[in-house]
Amino acid sequence: MSPGARGRFITFEGGEGCGKSTQIRLLAERLRALGHRVRELREPGGTALGEAIRHLLKHDPAGKGMVPEAELLLMNASRAQLVREVIRPALEAGEIVLCDRFYDSTVAYQSGGRGLSRERVDSVIGHAVDATRPDLTLYLTVSRDEARRRVAARTAAVAGPEDRFEQEKEAFFLRVEAAYESLLVSESGRIRPVAAEGPPEVVAERIWTLVQPQLAV
């Protein structure tokens, strides 16, 4: 969190199909019912510039064949804008910020998945976020079979452009998962795993046991 910020910054991480969007919505509803002001964000995106970058990264034909270095820089260009335009002002105003992905995704996807050096990735992330860091990160875990089932169901239910990240091969997702597992060890004080299989309401209760103590800090 940036110096002097009064809000709380909570990020959600995990592979494709882990249920982050659903759980952010449920948590936001619960927090608002308790009287908190809540800001829901996603990465890449969250600003006009960020949403344009998101489309380029995930859907635009112009992004096909994008090299990992360009992907890294575009992700963090979106992040730098989001931090300064939205996240810092919201925290300073006392809001709780819930973000669907933040820089741990870049470590997992661009370093773990794409194979860029961790040193290079961390350097770019540092320029993008500076001192704005999550207070708590929830890492939602599901089996690969369940993740594939959820992604297929979502794709069938919602018509839209193909998501290039969801089309990656199994080996890519295994590298991403391994990178997340390493982060769970190195950042155990901040990143907390959440078993995300089962009814959404049950998963939401698991999340609440981790979020509730943050509200008293």
Dihedrals phi, psi of 133, to nearest 5 degrees:
-130, 150
Q: What number is the average pLDDT over the span 88-112?
A: 98
Q: Does domain 8-215 have CATH number 3.40.50.300?
A: yes
Average pLDDT, the chain: 92
Per-residue pLDDT reduced to its tens digit, 155-196: 666 666 788 898 899 999 999 999 999 999 999 999 999 999
Contacts of 82 (CB under 8 A, 6+ apart): 41, 43, 45, 46, 47, 50
Structure tokens that stand for 50 in this block = 């960020």
3-state class of 194 per DSSP? Answer: strand
pLDDT at 1 over 70: no
pLDDT at 54 over 60: yes
Confidence at residue 5, expressed as pLDDT on a 0 to 100 scale: 40
pTM of this prediction exceeds 0.85 = yes
d(CA 84, CA 109): 23
Q: What number is the average pLDDT over the span 208-217?
A: 90
pLDDT at 154 over 50: yes
Structure tokens that stand for 212 in this block = 């509730």
Burial class (CB in 10 A: 0-12, 13-18, 19+), 108: buried
Domain boundaries, the chain: 8-215
* Distance, C-alpha 79 to centroid of its chain: 11
At residue 95 the predicted structure's pLDDT band, cuts being 50, 70 and 90, is very high
In the chain, the percentage of residues whose pLDDT exceeds 70 is: 94
pLDDT at 4 over 60: no
pLDDT at 217 over 70: no
Question: Are 132 and 140 within 8 A, CB to CB?
Answer: no
Structure tokens that stand for 53 in this block = 């970058």
d(CA 28, CA 30): 5
